[in-house]
Amino acid sequence: MLLFIALFILLVMHEEYNDFDKEISSIRTKYITKQKEHIKFDVNRVIEFINYEYRSRHDTVDEDILKEQTINAIEHLYSRQDGTGYIFIYSNKGIKLSDPVQSDDIGKNLYHFQDSDGVQVIKELVSVSQKPDGGFVRYRWMKPTTGVLTPKISYAKSFDIWGWMVGTGVYLDEVEKLIKAERLALKERLIKYMMVILSLAVILSGLGFILVTIVNRIISKEIDTFSQFFKKSSKSYTTIDVDDINLYEFKKMVKYINRMVKEIHQKKEKLKEINLSLEKKVKKKTEDIREQNRLLEREKHYSDSLVKAQDSFIKHSIHEVNTPLAVIMTHIDIYKIKHGENRYLNKIEAASKMISNIYDDLSYMVKKDRLTYEKEWIDFSEFLQDRVEFFDEIATGNQHKIITDIERDIEIYFNDMELQRIVDNNLSNAIKFAKKGSDIVVTLKKCDAILLKFITNSKKITDIKRIFEPYHREASTAIGFGLGLEIVGQICEKNSVNISVESDSEVTQFIYRYAIL
């Protein structure tokens, strides 16, 4: 008994320590995760502020003055009395530009500075800041409120235009204070558990020993009676006499045991009847299955008719939407012939063409899984030139000029509707995202493959892998549904067209490689 009590206490303590270790790990993880979220939010907000200052004032204010004013504003916004939570700024070469707490070495190059663990703090921060989403670095730093080297984690992100690394951090000693308090609470809890368990164990041990002895004798006698009964009932139909049982709970069992024996014998008789009727049931089940198959055939026929009706509805709906667009475009051409060019009419024409392009995208998305797009030989050079001329008015209205370098007499085996979706969506995106006043270059060459390129002066695409995903837009303010490049990606994958995208801060290229048949 004493061994059992000791084992029980050890088990309780073991479980408590396991729970404590899990809880401590959870506290540490949650604390660090929450702090990382805070500092990442602060840095991103500062980056947004710097970007706003640059975009709104760099054309009117000297750059050095603008930098100085921006740093002063950040230091005033994020200064705290306890010396924590401040924003620090370094150049990408490691020169300290701003540090409200340690301002003595402003202007010094600390790129190779190491902490007590050998971490090159500034070098690591500069490195992770140049990732698309910035990054975190752990190191040891002098905490202003204590003057002691303390573990710290910082988040940094780069402002590429000025070559700045912007960051902030949080000291991790607070989480250890929380853990220390939890350890003291655990110790008190374990002592309390041990005293309660020992007291109860002593009392229960004495009572249990007496009770077990008495009950053991009574139960042994009753079990012998049941054993004899089960031996007899296994050979013949017999029942237990309730007067032979002394314990009340066992007396209640007698009624159910006798009923069980009776039911077993009754079910044996029923089993014979079931075996006789089994063949009839199998035959009826077979007929039911045949009837179900006939019903399924009727349901399939009905579903096919619904699909045909839906296809007919989509076809007529597309025609109804397309007709007004065709009327608008036709009347614009007639007006130009009669009255000449008109800048307001040109804008209406450009907008109508953009609507037409969006309509074609939606029409393709609706019909692509229901229709088969047959391929044919197409004069790619002439086809591409026609589409460029279609978008020329839209480009002019958006202060762009489309420059072409199209090699003549290039043919391709492709579906004309799918080829138009690739070309139109790339031209539409080029017009939409190219920098104002810049040229858009479209080239078509034939070497070891047919190469189609769209080249623009535009902002860098930060996430190239996701631009062909459904509804993805590079910027939250971008106009459109985000369907164009999804359609392009699906068509290229279907037709084994290789896509490559190259983008930096100045130039973006979409390159499509068609195999030569």
SS3 sequence of 157-215: EEECCCCEEEEEEEECHHHHHHHHHHHHHHHHHHHHHHHHHHHHHHHHHHHHHHHHHHH
Q: How far is CA 466 from the centre of its chain?
A: 12
Output the pLDDT for position 363: 67
Q: Decide the pairing of beta strands 88-91 and 164-171.
A: antiparallel
335 located within any domain = no
Which among 177, 194, 217 is the end of a domain?
177
In the chain, the number of structural domains is 2
Q: Residue 376 is part of which domain span? A: 371-514
343 located within any domain = no
Q: What is the CATH classification number for the domain harbouring 25?
A: 3.30.450.20
Residue ranges in 340-369 assigned as alpha helix (H): 343-367
Q: Decide the pairing of beta strands 498-503 and 450-457.
A: unpaired
For the chain, the distance separating the N- and C-terminal CA atoms, rounded to the nearest angstrom, is 88
277 located within any domain = no
Q: Supply the DSSP string of 127-159, one letter for each residue.
A: HHHTSTT-EEEEEEEE-TTT-SEEEEEEEEEEE
451 located within any domain = yes
Output the pLDDT for position 368: 65
Structure tokens at 263: 């039911």
Report yes or no: 166 and 87 within 8 Å, Cβ to Cβ: yes
Output the pLDDT for position 327: 63
Structure tokens at 479: 């106009």
Give the long-range contacts of residues 114-118, CB within 8 A, separation 24 or more: 115/139, 115/140, 115/141, 115/149, 116/140, 116/149
CB-count exposure of residue 363 (10 Å: 0-12, 13-18, 19+):
middle
pTM of the model: 0.38
CB atoms within 10 A of CB 167: 27
Output the pLDDT for position 156: 96
Which among 177, 204, 235 is the end of a domain?
177
Enumerate residue ranges in the chain where pLDDT < 50.
477-481
Task: Report the C-alpha gap between 48 and 46 in whole angstroms.
Answer: 5
330 located within any domain = no
CB-based burial, 13-24: b 16+ in 10 Å, e otherwise: eeeeeeebeeeb
211 located within any domain = no
Residue ranges in 58-120 assigned as alpha helix (H): 63-78
What's phi and psi for 447, nearest 5 deg?
A: -130, -115
Output the pLDDT for position 480: 46
456 located within any domain = yes
Q: What is the CATH classification number for the domain harbouring 480?
A: 3.30.565.10
319 located within any domain = no
Output the pLDDT for position 144: 81
239 to each of 228, 236, 255, 265, 366, how far by Cα in Å? 11, 10, 9, 12, 75
Output the pLDDT for position 345: 63
Task: Report the C-alpha gap between 89 and 240 in whole angstroms.
Answer: 92
Task: Report the C-alpha gap between 481 and 479 in whole angstroms.
Answer: 7
Which among 142, 159, 177 is the end of a domain?
177
pLDDT tens digits, 438-463: 999 999 999 999 999 999 999 988 88
